[in-house]
Amino acid sequence: MNATSARQGHWILDVGRPGSLLQLFIVSFASLYVEVMLIRWLGTEFRIFAYIQNLTLVACFLGFGLGCLKSSAQPAYLFDFRALSLLVLIVDLPVREWKAILDVVVSGLAANSDLSVWAVPERGAVLIKFLIAAAMVSGILLLVIATMVPLGAWVASCLESSARIVTAYSVNLLGSLIGVWGFAGLSFLNLPPIVWFAIAFALLLLMQPRVRDIGLAGGLILVACLGILEMGHGRSVKTIWSPYQKLEVRRAYDDQYQISVNNSGYMTIANLTPELLQRDPSLRDEYAAGNSYDTPYRFAQALDKVLIVGSGAGNDVAAALRNGAGHIDAVEIDPVIYGFGRTLHPEKPYQSGKVRVILDDARDFMRGSTNRYDLIVFGLLDSHTQSSSLSNMRIDNYVYTRESFEDAKRLLKPGGVLVIKFEVRSFHEWMGQRFYSMLSQIFSHPPVAFYCAQVAALLPASVFIESQDTSFWNRASSPELAKFVTNHPLPYGLSDHPDTEPTTDDWPYLYHRGRTIPKMYLSVSGVLILLAYLLVRRNFSYRETRTWEFFFLGAGFLLLETQMVGRLALYFGSTWIVNCVVLTFVLLVLIAANLAVDSIKRIRLGPLYLALVLALLVIYLVPWARLPLGSRAIGLVLGTAFSVPLFFAGIIFTESFRRAGGAAKVFGANILGAVAGGLAQNFSFVFGVKALLIVAAVFYAIAGLTRLFTRSAQTISPANAIQTSA
């Protein structure tokens, strides 16, 4: 036993000798817990990490893989708490001016018009702003990487010293599974980051050989870190961390409230009670002239049944009640936002007996509904958060696709009316063109389109109204409504021959102009590639074929996992519980693969590689959405289909893992392959989401050919790696 290992022989929790299964379980739990914590926290507090959702994931993989490559002995700390604390200081320093500087600096990466992210386009000194932003993002990524390096070294060291490799890998997967659900439980309880970090620090102390090794300075750093997290919000603001996002609500005036999501203005709770309108004649006149909430009801004839998609804090529900709706189905994904509306909205719309609240993903509800509606309203669903840390998806990605609008059309009664509201910025007019063109194609008639400015707390929006009923178009062409539309033109032009790419379930990128990789993604990917090269060039055994086999296994597996999470979200909803269930299924399939390897004496990897690639191609070719089954049934069939290549991939990896003999460097190569898989997701912006299955098949084919080449060259491959689930 070397000096470092000997020094780590006395633990607060008796986890036995270094490399014990209990120690491995705790370290595996901590690895996934810290990783998911960083993904959630950074995606909330630092805007660019919200728009490029897998950015933190890839940085975590890079740090974890680097730790594996450098693993010769267990490090002194479970994770680098000094790097993590500095990250907290930079990102969450409770100084308003500093927050503004961060926003301005990092917005330099979005100095283009091919992606709708920041509110205003960048102008002037673009190159200087870009370089400053790239330096800032690089610094943040380096701190994330540094935080994860010890965790990678710990896991690699534990696995390398384990006598039974397959059993150790199973323990690693089990610890990862508990780590995912542990953090999910904290999200379900709406607990804030100070609790997340406190638990992480408790794990750090748990794995310390002696608490005093942290030192006085280390203890002060931990306390200061928690203090910064506690001071991160003003006392006049109520802050709740829902399962999806950080929500802040503050009282404005006249019993109205402003709600911010992830530090950005998001929605209001408006007060249009008769008492207020009586007291304020100017507001009454402005409200009567037209707003984006009430105006659409002028175009509807019957209002017996109304569906509101993205009902939020209740403004759309209140508008439906004011205009005489008989029954309202209000769909909202975030229970905390619904809770704000129920307790704070002056008009109490959610307390009405006419309203049925459905806490679900909007797309999932529409897919499974058999109801028919006189009016369907898409509220202002502009998303500020992600649906999965594994992909570039946002919660509303699948809501604004051609297939989603076709689902809404199917739910309309013969005389029904569809209303799409969205805040389209004048310098991103292509987004408005996208809605106009898609609705024109689906309904075979251009929509009625107009713009409503903000009225008090009722937010502005471009409004698109469609119907397949002839009487609707007769009403829309009446002098009164035609005059209203003429007097409320859109602040941008529309054409009958657009060049804007329509969004589909295979290309659901609402905020991307066309089938190109946005410059911001290219910039950040370039930063990551440069960092990866500088950090691993001395430790990555690029001359050895075994290194590349495990590298491509990692890349293929991440894309396979990404596809499974993203595709199943279409059929079960983009809710946090669905993501956790899918990830649990992935880990259980991998554990089953481990059991298979343990029970089979001889496994031929060549046929398994071939079967894996063929299974991926079959999943790609099958038109799943056209199957004559219900939404959930298709999801179950698709999930079962995905389990086949996943099981083959698990057996291939675990058998290679067993033959490897425990080399930590190739263990790191596998994780670095996952970094490549994360960056390869950018191809979906060009070729579509489904095409990632082909990319994954190519990665696995290269891994198989690499093994074949290694065997033909009679090269022994003592490599070891692990596929971790984020």
Strand partners, 240: 247
Full-prediction pTM beyond 0.85? yes
pLDDT at 214: 75
Domain 278-384+402-487 falls in which CATH fold?
Rossmann fold (3.40.50)
Task: Tell me if residue 372 falls in helix, strand or coil.
Answer: coil
Answer whether residue 712 shows pLDDT above 70: no
Burial of 274 (0-12, 13-18, 19+ CB in 10 A): exposed
pLDDT tens digits, 417-452: 999 999 887 667 888 999 999 999 999 899 999 999
Instruction: Select the more confidently predicted residue: 589 or 498.
Output: 589
Domain spans in the chain, listed from the N-terminal domain onward: 3-233+512-712, 278-384+402-487
pLDDT at 489: 93
Give the range among 341-350, 497-506, 606-615 with minimum mean pLDDT. 497-506
Answer whether residue 675 shows pLDDT above 80: yes
pLDDT tens digits, 95-148: 877 877 777 776 666 655 566 665 544 555 567 777 888 888 899 999 999 999
pLDDT at 456: 81
Residue 136 — left, alpha, or beta (φ > 0 → left; ψ -120 to 50 → alpha)? alpha
Q: Per-residue confidence at 640, pLDDT binned at 50, 70, 90?
A: very high
pLDDT tens digits, 344-376: 999 999 999 999 999 988 888 998 899 999 999
Could you give the C-alpha distances from 681 to 170, 384, 477, 585, in angstroms and in order?
28, 20, 46, 22
**136 is written with which tokens?**
């800032």
Q: Per-residue confidence at 274, pLDDT binned at 50, 70, 90?
A: confident
Mean pLDDT computed over 673-680: 90
Q: Identify residue 615 by its one-letter amino acid code.
A: A
As a whole number of angstroms, the distance between CA 6 and CA 21 comes to: 18
**Nearest alpha carbon to residue 461 among 380, 370, 356:** 380
Most confident by average pLDDT, 312-326, 543-557, 570-584: 312-326
| Contact (Cβ atoms closer than 8 angstroms) between residue 389 and residue 39 | yes
| Contact (Cβ atoms closer than 8 angstroms) between residue 305 and residue 374 | yes
pLDDT at 351: 96
Q: Per-residue confidence at 160, pLDDT binned at 50, 70, 90?
A: confident
Q: Per-residue confidence at 162, pLDDT binned at 50, 70, 90?
A: confident
Answer whether residue 234 shows pLDDT above 70: no
- What's the CA angle centered on 597, arms 594 and 600, to 5 degrees? 150
Answer whether residue 4 shows pLDDT above 50: no
pLDDT at 210: 58
pLDDT at 16: 41
Looking at the chain, the number of H-run helices and the number of E-run strands are 27, 11
pLDDT at 725: 36
Q: Per-residue confidence at 395, pLDDT binned at 50, 70, 90?
A: low
Give long-range contacts, CB 8 A cutoff, 24+ apart: 626-632: 630/368, 631/364, 631/367, 631/368, 631/571, 632/368, 632/571, 632/572
Mean pLDDT computed over 24-38: 94
Express the helix, strand and coil content of the chain in percent, nearest 5 each.
60, 10, 30
Instruction: Select the more confidently predicted residue: 228 or 520.
Output: 228
Q: What is the separation of C-alpha 162 from the centre of its chain, rounded to a whole number of angstroms?
A: 35
CA atoms within 13 A on the CB side of 525: 15
Instruction: Select the more confidently predicted residue: 466 or 214.
Output: 466
The DSSP string of 150-175 is HHHHHHHHHHHT-S-HHHHHHHHHHH
Class for domain 3-233+512-712, per CATH? mainly alpha
pLDDT at 579: 77
At 198, which helix (H) or strand (E)? helix 193-206
**Nearest alpha carbon to residue 261 among 93, 381, 97, 392:** 381
Q: Per-residue confidence at 168, pLDDT binned at 50, 70, 90?
A: confident
Rg for the chain (alpha carbons), in Å?
Answer: 27
**68 is written with which tokens?**
């594996």
Indicate the average pLDDT of the chain: 84
Answer whether residue 688 shows pLDDT above 50: yes
* Number of Cβ atoms within 10 Å of the Cβ of 515: 13
